[in-house]
A = this chain, B = another copy of it.
Amino acid sequence: MINVLIVEDEPSIANLIQMSLNENYLTKIANDGEEALKEIKQATFDLILLDIMIPKINGFELMEYLKDEMIPVIFITAMSDTQNIVKGLKLGADDYLTKPFNISELLARIESVLRRYNKINNVLTYKDIVIYKDSHIVKKNNKTISLTKKEYDLLLLLFQNKNVALYRDTIYERIWGDNFMGETRTVDLHIQRLRKKLNLEKEIQTVYKIGYRFEVENEI
């Protein structure tokens, strides 16, 4: 899931933003700069929505810190405050919003920034299995499962093609790069290993004489 930290001292605005984001993101609110700093040190956020005018540590100071953390920032400032906009962007913010803003604009900006940072679809999920793409980590029931590179690639391919019957040739080509697979049983073997490691005996179905399909309920 994508984590968004909302740094905003005005509760009504903070809540409004939070409600708007809750459907698609995990959110956390920080009421001032100090709280924000604490949150950032504790957890990793994928994006920070930062009001500039906040108590204790102001938004700009916070951004100085965030530069090193490599966390994308969208900052929020008053409409006419051109100076602050320039300053914010120079400090490394990725985008900005001027108050008052509407929700759809906010959502659009967020999507755009996340896409720029490759954060979208960084995480793939099925039931209790989670793939963290940039970490190359797979967890099942919150426990890391050690997969080899080929296994990982294969799992990713399956997750990205839910309910699609994949030909052995296709799989081989996509993962082994080679565009022709002779009589090897390599693909089968790796499928077996995956099924075993992740308890996907039911989900990874064999399509006789064709290949395999990662079958997922309620998703066709």
Contacts and interface: CB of A to CB of B under 8 A. Distances in A.
Contacts of A180: none
Interface string A113-138: 00100101111110000001111110
Nearest to A162: B44
B64 A149 contact: no
Contact of A164 (B41, B61, B65, B135): B135
Interface stretch (A73-81, A183-191, A194-202, A208-216): A208-216
A178 interface: no
A68 interface: yes
A161 interface: yes
Given A68-B121, A120-B61, A149-B209, A135 B44 contact: no
A83 interface: no
A12 interface: no
A68 B120 contact: no
A44 B208 contact: no
B135 A70 contact: no
A208 B148 contact: yes
Given A70-B160, A164-B135, A65 B208 contact: no
| 10 smallest beta-carbon distances between A and B, as pairs | A65-B121, A136-B165, A149-B209, A64-B120, A44-B219, A135-B163, A134-B164, A70-B160, A136-B207, A64-B121
Interface of A: 41-44, 61, 64-65, 67-70, 111, 115, 118, 120-125, 132-137, 139, 148-149, 160-165, 207-210, 213, 215, 218-220
